[in-house]
Structure 1
């Protein structure tokens, strides 16, 4: 309560959690301060500031002065929050405020669902490229699982986009299958079952590749994150933690 937290170093877990806090300022600053995800729950008057902070997917090199990827430039750079009032999120670049937003679970439409209270409704704040790089707060409609293809918590917008992509891929697969089967009438003449597809072949391949890539990328990302954290733990002499993280990476790799 009533304090400022300054983070200038890399967080091995990549996650910062705040619970039951009030009047707290979290300042994440510098090229080494890698925090991919924040979780803020049941708190009030919390300010989170990113000052030239790197994305969770940024690859830092010892002689690199600036991040190659800033926080918010990757879709997995997100702030989750539930039951939080007056949560201010700000992104600074070269000491200039680039974008900011204020989230409040009541103003954002939190409601009680079943046995869950309004304070338990989960929201996520992130940068959306299709919104001119602005910070946007959305409700989470599918909680992420600990492993597997549904490891990523998703909003209604993300679920709809994923569904549309899969439907398009399914339609393209059906068209290709029908084009490979030729039906003839009793006189031996070919019967036209569909009109030639007007979809560009290159576009077809890109859509199919994106569908497959999304599923595979979730697994690959988790493998890489556990491996990277294992390397950091090993370098810090935390050998037990390193072995655990390496084991998690190997277990996840078996799903590929």
Structure 2
């Protein structure tokens, strides 16, 4: 079967977030998919069934090196890129629609994940040394932390063992943007699911978009944002917030094509 490695949320090879993409003729055994994801070692590998009727959404699942996840932005973008842009996928988070835009970007229609304010988890201070925590919130699968400055977000050297004790699938550290054209910066740490730091995380922006709409005083029914994920590889996510849906826009570059023989 065909397999690919695609760098998502970037137009430059070896930047953004790499994802594995495996094309299946029929549904595969979950244990086998987990083994393939562990072998490829990307933060997520997508498995999409392309052998079904053309007019029906294609079944799509995502696996980290250690577990299956309910939603993944960069691997969905990578899959749509491999398949030609305009796609519909049947997933654990519902039907997701991807649309190729005229400027070469792809927009993914995702559900929002509005976070609710919470007290900082006990492990947070140890996990994010040097960060001034101004606010914390909990989304469906992640804890969001607003830092005092983008400089703190860029400079933090997290204690992954401490963050692994935070009861969530990941910690999203964010602050107001410090560069022209950017509304906010973020970094995402998910040692709980085998990902010390995710380079660019589409699903995190499903929570970041509504949170920053409130923080910046923008209309949650219709607002646009540009987010920079300030990992070592780096990447940019454009967002169009539309009530309980958000259009996540990104570009992607294929860096490897091959045959998976096992």
RCO comparison, higher one (Cα < 8 Å, 6+)? 2
Q: TM-score, normalised by structure 2?
A: 0.25
Q: TM-score, normalised by structure 1?
A: 0.26
Q: Larger C-alpha radius of gyration, 1 or 2?
A: 1
Q: Which has the higher strand share?
A: 2
Q: Which has the higher helix share?
A: 1
